[in-house]
Amino acid sequence: MKILITGAGGMIGRKLVERLVADKNLGGKPITGLTLVDVVESPVPTGAPKDTKPIVTDFSEKGVAETLIAERPDVIFHLAAIVSGDAEANFEMGYKINFNGSWALLEAVRIEGQKSPYKPRFVFASTLAVFGPPFPDSIPDDFAPTPSTSYGTQKAMTELMLADYSRKGFVDGVGVRLPTICIRPGKPNKAASSFFSGILREPLAGQEAPLPVGDEVRHWFASPRAAVGFFLTAATIDTSPLGTQRSMTMPGVSATVGEQIAALKKAAGDKAVALIKRVDDPFVAKIVQGWAGRYDAKLAGKMGFKAEKNFDEIIKVYQEDEMNQ
């Protein structure tokens, strides 16, 4: 089986590739080749199948999608996107990459299928940013997406298109709305959500971390390992029960900042907690207010998607996967 991954050089993309190489197969079928697409060089893990190639390209540029799809991958993991802040600052580029780029991939699949039958599994990395306030206490599967960013709009539009292309039989699509990934390895970044990982990651490494919001702020989380699991599940489930609802909110852990800190205390003691420095940031606080804290991910649960059960597990995953504990 041949697999195409866009955004293969990103944090989740790299972990997904590592997992596929370690597993050697997907849904019981041996993996014969991986095409790893990103605007940066995607690392190729040791032991990758012979027919593995990193390609440095912008998938949204004219003709690139057709070239990638001409190899008829059996599974496409479409993770590439520009992030929320970039899409908000660069309106045209956001639509070009996040929407038109995704459409170009779907169109390339449809047109390839006109030559001879071809209907790959198309796993699309979507986002909970398809939803916008006002939120109910817990967001059900049938809650209408009214995004409050261009990024969320572009992802919601792609979800609709993925469902329509699937309904018409051109692809077999599954959209995966990722929770906030925590604990992200590496350094703090400029995302407003960066502190959710920072207040755990830095103290676990004996370093200080700023906390810009109050303890009561609630959010929806899953580990990087769970995210990789979501993509593997999406690639292998029987999609026939999905009907026209092809994109699903992923399960996760609903936790407040206070609950995050309590889990950190359990894992690393008061000394770690003392490294969290409260630095009010009304700008970040305001953005975070526009995010929901709880989802009722019934459909994804029924389809077999699994996240951690609590924040203790999320910290444990980080200690195992990133700190070799």
How buried is residue 40: exposed, middle or buried, by Cβ count under 10 Å (0-12/13-18/19+)? exposed
Shortest distance, CB of residue 261 to its own copies, whole angstroms?
Answer: 32
Partnered with residue 1 across adjacent β-strands are none
Q: Does residue 173 bind its own copies (CB under 8 A)?
A: no
In terms of CB distance, is 113 or 210 closer to its own copies? 113
> Residue 289, interface with its own copies (CB under 8 A)?
no
Can residue 203 be called a binding residue for its own copies (CB under 8 A)?
no
Which residue of the set 95, 151, 295, 318 is catalytic? Answer: 151
Task: Report the distance separating Cα 160 and Cα 7, nearest Å.
Answer: 21
Based on its alpha-carbon atoms, the radius of gyration of the chain, rounded to whole angstroms, reads 19
Q: How many angstroms separate the CA atoms of 320 and 98, rounded?
A: 33
Q: Is residue 142 a contact residue for its own copies (CB under 8 A)?
A: yes
Binding to its own copies by CB under 8 A, coded x per residue (else -) over 241-270, reads --xxx-------------------------
Of 64, 69, 63, the C-alpha closest to 39 is 64
User: Please, which residue, 290 or 301, has the CB nearer to its own copies?
Assistant: 290
- DSSP string spanning 12-25? HHHHHHHHHHHH-E
- Per CB under 8 A, 302 contacts its own copies: no
Shortest spacing between CB 94 and its own copies, in angstroms: 10
In whole angstroms, how close is the CB of 163 to its own copies at the nearest point? 7
- Name the DSSP letter for residue 221: E
**Is residue 206 within 8 Å of residue 220, measured between CB atoms?**
no
Half-sphere exposure (CA, 13 Å, Cβ side) for 245? 16
Q: Which is nearer to its own copies, 11 or 160 (CB)?
A: 160
**What is the smallest separation between the CB atom of 280 and its own copies, expressed in angstroms?**
27
Q: Does 118 bind its own copies (CB under 8 A)?
A: no
User: Would you call 318 a catalytic residue per the annotation?
Assistant: no
Per rule CB under 8 A, is residue 83 in the interface with its own copies? no
Looking at the Cβ atoms of 30 and 136, the one nearer to its own copies is 136
Whole-angstrom Cα distance, residue 163 to residue 158? 9
Give the C-alpha distances (Å, rounded to integers) separating 152 from 51, 147, 159, 296.
35, 5, 10, 19
286 belongs to the binding site for its own copies (CB under 8 A):
no
Active site residues: 151
- The footprint of its own copies (CB under 8 A) covers 91, 132, 141-148, 150, 153, 156-157, 160-161, 163-164, 167-168, 243-245
